[in-house]
Structure 1
Amino acid sequence: MIQYPGTLPDGTSVQDQSAEEWALALGDVADAGFDCVDPTESWLRIGDLSPERLQEFQDVVADLGLRVPAVSSARRSPVDPEHGEEHMATLHRGIDAAAAVGAEVFNVGFFRALLPAQQRALWFWTTEGAVDADPDEDPETYRLAVDRVRELGRHAAENGLVLSLEMYEDTYVGTADGAVRFVTDVDMPEVGLNPDLGNLQRLHRPVERWTEMAAKVLPHTNFWHAKNYLRTEDETTGAISTAPAPLETGVMSYRQMLADAVALGFRGPITCEHYGGDGLSVSARNRDYLRGLLGTRRIRGMLAAG
């Protein structure tokens, strides 16, 4: 995942950069040994590029030997109280652009723009952000969310894509039970879950154990943002502390989760994501770790069996 900022130090936007400047960022990805990239909207909104500029982007990607199996939207909640309709238009354009660049998956979330306190924090997840209404207390907004995701799912299917819903705290897919309820209510084979459990395990508050969450959501998985965190819980004081970590050293066992997901039929793309430090190098390390797991006898046998 491209995690470079979308706004440059001089205040200009990556949207307005030249193809040569895009190539510098994407070249870092290729130089790190990747042959695929997820140009998340927080870096570049490919759905807002003109046809000519989208072709420039595709040319840069091809010249670097990369391809784009998935495109992730960022902070474009379809039911944002102020910008929901505007975000829907952006998401529809994103789906069209994702199809144009050959993606298989378009990733959507209900998380909204960072609040000022989150923008000031070292780690934005340590400060509370926007919260979706309780589905049972505001059934009308919940029904709107289901309807809009169905609309996006139909559009994705028409373009040969699947739609994935990114799990994120305080949203309709912010817990395992809530995510399963939501995707079940949407009830479309083209719509599944992105079990980005790192988004939840990093919270400085009590959360469900990752093993219990994984058991609930992995049967609905069609895409995956893979990242991990250290997590310490002091039962004496109630203090909780977290920090980003490479996949093999964090609190969640990707060896177990990946094997379970493959056994359940998951065959979708996995995007390596990491916050802090040299996130690209850690993502490359995570890629190699995941490839190693996919090469184990256990998982190889399941893949060979279909």
Structure 2
Amino acid sequence: MPHTAQDWPIGAALLQFPAASPGGLPTQDAPASEWSRVLGEVAAEGFDHVDLTDSWLRPGDLAPGRLAELARTLKEHRLGLSAVSAIRRSVIDPDPAVARDNLDYLLRTVDAAAELGAPVVSVGLHRPLTEAQRRALWFWHEPGAADPAGDERTWALAVRRLRALGERAAGHGLRLSLEMYEDTYLGTPESAVRLVREIGLPNVGVNPDIGNLVRLHRPVPHWEDLLLPVLPYANYWHVKNYHRDLDPATGAYFTVPAPLEGGVIDYRRALELALRAGFDGPICTEHYGGDGLGVSARNRDYLRRLLSVKLPAIAAEREGAPA
């Protein structure tokens, strides 16, 4: 195993931080002191890594001097990067101009991630939230945009453009991780595996964020059936969990965010399955609602406890000795 339980890179997501300061200034244009305020909160919760989520700040759109400011601010708080996550920037958006702009943005993001020393860039094919999703209590209660099923021309475009991103990442020595998300070409294990295999680059893999799937208000496969097929290709991992229930009398589904140890996904087993499959990538703890950062810190500690048991046991088995 490449890491120990205590030094495995586990980063905090920044989903819970808005894209503007309390005074209304966009984070993108804010002084480094505003970035420091947020990153200081992350460090105060005991994190030594952060997933630089671009819903908070877009490193790919920072001028060189500002990117250097960001690097200094991270260093001041002794924070490394588990990854840069660029979300809702589909390279196959139905609007060709938007799709091309997204590809250019993601290429810039890969370059910026390399400048900042991030080992991974995580991207997906999901698109911006619809108006109905923005109005909903939880956005996954409403259906979002979907990739065209059975459209081999659009599929080929996804392969070609994601391969270009993977090649740019490889040139910097980075991994590219493709985030699983419903109703996209990364929305099922079979489709995600096919996409990675057709891209055909060793640094391109899957971000098996199955929390995006188990939270849906519709029938979904058991979480193990979602996870197991993609684990041989996993190279980064957003982890989050949800309570999930079904009222058989009405057919109504119910899902809300949960801490890792409390939801429908058994992360004790999921982590062991991942380690046995050879997973060695950074991890990012996410949580929607309430004090997302505080819950993420609790989730990080839970993962470290699991790793402290799982890593020695698996290593001992491989050496043929009792744990």
State the TM-score, normalizing by the size of structure 1: 0.96
1:229 aligns with 2:225: no
Matches within 5 A, 1:1-306: 1-3=13-15, 4-8=17-21, 10-82=23-95, 83-134=98-149, 136=150, 138-296=151-309, 298-303=310-315
Give a deviation string over 1:193-228, Cα, whole Å, max 9, x none.
000000000110111110111111111100000000
Q: What SS does the aligned partner of 1:119 have?
A: helix
Q: State the alpha-carbon separation in 2 of the partners of residues 7 and 146 from structure 1.
A: 34
Amino acid at match of 1:111: H
Identity of aligned residues (%): 52
Task: Report the AA paired with residue 272 of structure 1.
Answer: T
Gaps of 5+ in 1: none
CA offset digits 1:76-115 (Å, max 9, x no partner): 0111122100000000000001011111100010011111
Any idea what SS the aligned residue of 1:232 has? strand
**What is the CA distance between 1:236 and its match in structure 2?**
3.7
* Matching residue's letter, 2:99: G
For residues 195 and 311 of structure 2, the distance between their equivalents in structure 1, rounded to whole angstroms, comes to 29
Distance 2:33 2:24 in 1: 19
Question: 1:262–1:303: 8 Å Cα contact kept in structure 2?
Answer: no
Kept after mapping to 2: 8 A contact 1:228/1:247 = yes
Number of residue-to-residue matches in the alignment: 303
What amino acid maps onto 1:55 in structure 2? A
In 2, the alpha carbon distance for the partners of 1:63 and 1:302 equals 36
Q: Is the 8 A contact 2:185 2:195 kept in 1?
A: yes
Question: Which consecutive unaligned segments of at least 5 residues does structure 2 have?
Answer: 1-12
Moved over 3 A (4+): 7-11, 303-306
In 1: Cα distance, 2:89 partner to 2:23 partner: 25
The equivalent of 2:10 in structure 1 is none
Letter in 2 for 1:218: L
Measured against aligned partners, the alpha-carbon deviations of 1:162-206 in whole angstroms (never above 9, x if no partner) come to 100000111000112221221122222111000000000011011
Structure number with greater CO (CA < 8 Å, separation at least 6) is: 2
Shift of 1:300: 2.2
**In structure 1, what residue type is equivalent to 2:28?**
Q
CA separation in 1, counterparts of 2:21 and 2:238?
25
Cα deviation for residue 8 of structure 1 reads: 4.1
